[in-house]
Amino acid sequence: MHCFLFFSLLISFWLHITNIKKEPAMAFETKEQAQAYWKENLRIMGGLLFVWFAVSFGAGILFVDALDTIQIGGFKLGFWFAQQGSIYTFVALIFIYVVRMNSLDKKYNVQED
């Protein structure tokens, strides 16, 4: 995890230093359209953060005893969520966010070409 963070920061720093391709700011037709876009964006992020919290904290910590009564493949479900399930959920949330934001961008006509 620390290596990923290090390399992400290194790449971000390199892109900043070399000043590669600056993206233009989003061009909304009206201020109300921009506010509606960001309101929907925050709603999407809030929902995904709730799922993230429920899976990581709820299934991995709070409800682990109840989930441990169920076994899948010889492993207790609470253990599985703490070790594997939350990681799979996080990856799925990334893809869900990308799909939802692409559709939101198209809805407000600010998609990338």
Q: Are 9 and 1 within 8 A, CB to CB?
A: no
Question: Taking residues 28-48, what's their average pLDDT?
Answer: 91
Q: What is the pLDDT of residue 17?
A: 56
* Beta-carbon contacts of residue 51 (< 8 Å; ≥ 6 apart): 89, 93
39-89 pLDDT, tens per residue? 999 999 999 999 999 888 888 888 888 888 999 888 888 888 888 888 899
Residues 63-84 as b or e (16 or more Cβ within 10 Å = b): ebeebeeeeeeeebbbbbbbee
- The structure's pTM equals 0.69
Q: How confident is the model at residue 64, as a pLDDT?
A: 86
